[in-house]
Chain A
Amino acid sequence: MLGVRFERRPDPSPLLVFAVSLAAILAALLVTGVLFALQGVDPVAGFATILQRTILDPRGSSEVVRKSIPLLLAGVGIVLALRARFWNIGAEGQILAGAVAASGVALFLPVPPALMVPTMFLAGFIAGAAWGFLPAILKVRLGVNEIITTLMLNYVALYIVRWLINGPWRGDSVTGFSYSDRFPEYAWLPTIGTTRLHWPTLLIGLVLALLLAFVLFRTRLGFEIRMMGESPEAARYAGVDFFWTTIALVCVAAGAAGIAGVGEVAGIHQRLLEPTSISLGYGYTAIIVALLARGNPLATIVTALFMGLVFASGDIMKVSLRLPSQMPSVINGLVLLFLVCSEPLLRYRLVRRGGGPKRRVAKAN
């Protein structure tokens, strides 16, 4: 078909990887510009307004960073799991699990005020990890497809949160909207100045990215993880323990997403509320963050900031440009679409049929 065929490209150069990722983002932004124009907004002026109110404005840039926190935490986890060929589509559910655990601790556990925040982070990590443990063990033990199980668990978590805020955890003073009581003040995360930037969560995210990059590229465990993803057969031959390595990886990954959930409830809302308000789809966008980072935990710091910018620009688009609230979701979808379609450029090169060095091999089939 088409007179061309695919030939495997063994090892794409970092430059090519960067160029292709950048091209995918630019293509997505180009289409976004067209959508701006279709809705009567001058694309150039539109993008200029967005940049002005996000990156160049202190308040706006703090919002960009704030929205990139859950993306960084969940994204680093997904990068790590992807390294071991575990597709974690369940960050959304793991974020919610972390939020639930933190809320439970804040609302009901008699913890001394000084220990409250650390306990909440710990509980959030464990809950997130537990939400990843099940798909992990089902995959390594029974070969159950983790994409479907993690996806299904997202909805299980979503309905559990809804049940909690409508039922047993519904606040005493609540009328109309459903949410829990407000956490005691010592369970709130501190923020920088007058911004809503809850810095402990940001710090955990940054440290985690650094730590995991170190583990991945500088330790024996990291070597084994990379081997698992790149050549499972060789890894098996070398005696890598797939079972425990996968379980541990996924639990850390999911636990990181759980911490993101803690940040959202303890750092911003100070209560458990409607699941779509806790996570604005961070778990799904974290997949884009991870794919753009191409397996490098450090790169997620950059890619999370970029997607955080997309989220933050959503508010600007709505308020300043009078564009519909669905724009960020459209941009997310476009970035992901262009990213997935450009992926083959990295893995294969096009060779004209009838030419190229592998002609005889192809004919032999």
Chain B
Amino acid sequence: MEIELLTGTTARALAFSTPLIWAAMGEIFAERSGVVNLGVEGMMILGAVTGFIAAQSSGDPWLGLLAAAMTGGVVGLFHAFAAVTLRANQYVSGLAITIFGLGLSGLLGRKWVGRPLFDSMEPFDLPLLSDIPIIGPALFTDQHALAYLALLVSVLLWFVLHHTRAGLVIRTVGESPAAADTAGRSVTLTRYLSVGFGGVMAGIGGAYLSLAYRPSWGEGMTNGMGWIALALAIFALWDPLRAVGAGLLFGAFFTLSFRLQDRFPPELLTLLPYVFTILALILTALGRGKRAFGAPEALGQAYSRGER
């Protein structure tokens, strides 16, 4: 009984946190390269709407996913253009993308509101892994492909970030762009790729909502998830694996807010991720300096050779 509650909650938490994990992975890479992206919410909602329209028009949810990823990527590249090439304020650029994205998605999806998606992504059990006791029903049963992929991709990205040359370049560019530049690495290219990748991941996260989780389009359906994803990246101290753990924790709060509805106000559980993120920032600042916790040193700063 107790175990069932635990596995059930974890399974729901994973389903809920899947879009958060996708978007947070992207944000982690963007921020590791030194660029803050407050446009996640906008990229997610644009991914959700273009994904839905493409899937509905073509009858193939995977084409929808592709469209969403590309949309996110293009918007991500625009953010990179503003932040890296124009050296505009990254925070304002991201905020603009979110405000614009929320409006534009409503405009694009106006005709599609309230129509269910005919061919959506269906949940399924993962063979073999779903038979593992406890972990199987908690993580590998009755989820959408994008949930399983989120787990796989996070491990992969963790490996890339910490154990490959590409990961080293990204981290160096985020920590000390001047050093990366001296070593012959292109700060501009690295940032463009990382932020573009972040957009792709946010687009996929949004598409999960409109193609799998709630296969339909509704205005503002991301409902602030982009901000939670942003919070998640910080709360996880810019590490992909910790982001999965923290994502499940955030998801568990949301799931519990339904289960405990009669005993505890759901709104107060929903605001916990935001409070936790502030606490994480405080602890990061109180800790042994930023370095020990992995906050990129050059986060939010434009780089130009020979100028400080």
Contacts and interface: CB of A to CB of B under 8 A. Distances in A.
Given A144-B282, A163-B268, A284 B107 contact: no
A144 B283 CA distance: 10
A70 B267 CA distance: 26
A325 B100 CA distance: 13
A222 B96 CA distance: 30
Nearest to A155: B274
B94 to A, nearest CB: 9
Contacts of A324: 106-107, 110
A187 B63 CA distance: 56
Nearest to A145: B281
Nearest to B96: A336
A292 to B, nearest CB: 12
Contacts of B281: 138, 144-145, 148-149
A268 B297 CA distance: 46
Residue among B38, B98, B268, B271 having the largest count of chain A Cβ atoms under 10 Å: B271
B130 interface: no
Given A142-B285, A340-B88, A343-B89, A333 B270 contact: no
B277 interface: yes
B95 A155 contact: no
Contacts of B89: 340, 343
A182 interface: no
A336 B99 contact: yes
Interface string A8-34: 100000000000000000000000000
Interface string A290-323: 0100000000000000000000000000000000
B271 A344 contact: no
A8 B308 CA distance: 11
B70 interface: no
A89 B38 CA distance: 11
Nearest to B42: A333
Interface in A137-170: 138, 142-145, 147-149, 151-153, 155-156, 158-160, 162-163, 166-167
Given A149-B281, A341-B82, A327 B103 contact: yes
A161 to B, nearest CB: 9
A343 B304 contact: no
B306 interface: yes
A330 interface: yes
Interface string A23-51: 00000000000010000000000000000
Contact of A6 (B96, B107, B304): B304
A1 interface: yes
Contact of B95 (A35, A89, A142, A327): A89
Contacts of B268: 159, 163
Residue among A162, A328, A361 having the largest count of chain B Cβ atoms under 10 Å: A162
A160 B95 contact: no
B271 A35 contact: no
B103 A365 contact: no
Interface bracket on B: 35 or more
Given A1-B188, A340-B93, A330 B87 contact: no
B282 A151 contact: no
B86 A344 contact: yes
A362 interface: yes
A315 B248 CA distance: 41
Contact of A333 (B36, B99, B265): B99
Nearest to A330: B103
Contacts of B100: 329-330, 332-334, 336-337
Interface string B215-230: 0000100001001001
A326 interface: yes
A147 B91 contact: yes
A87 interface: yes
Interface string B275-307: 101100110111000000000000010001111
A147 B95 CA distance: 11
B102 interface: yes
A344 B88 contact: yes
A72 interface: no
B103 A326 contact: yes
Contacts of A87: 91
Contacts of A8: 307
Contacts of A97: none
Contacts of A167: 265, 267
B104 interface: yes
A350 B137 CA distance: 59
B231 interface: yes
Given A159-B268, A362-B306, A329 B99 contact: yes
24 contacts: A138-B278, A144-B281, A144-B282, A148-B278, A152-B275, A152-B277, A155-B274, A156-B271, A160-B271, A162-B267, A166-B265, A167-B267, A324-B106, A326-B102, A326-B104, A326-B110, A329-B103, A333-B104, A336-B95, A341-B82, A343-B86, A343-B89, A344-B87, A347-B87
Interface of A: 1, 6, 8, 35, 87, 89, 138, 142-145, 147-149, 151-153, 155-156, 158-160, 162-163, 166-167, 281, 284, 287, 291, 324-334, 336-337, 339-341, 343-344, 347-348, 361-362, 364-365
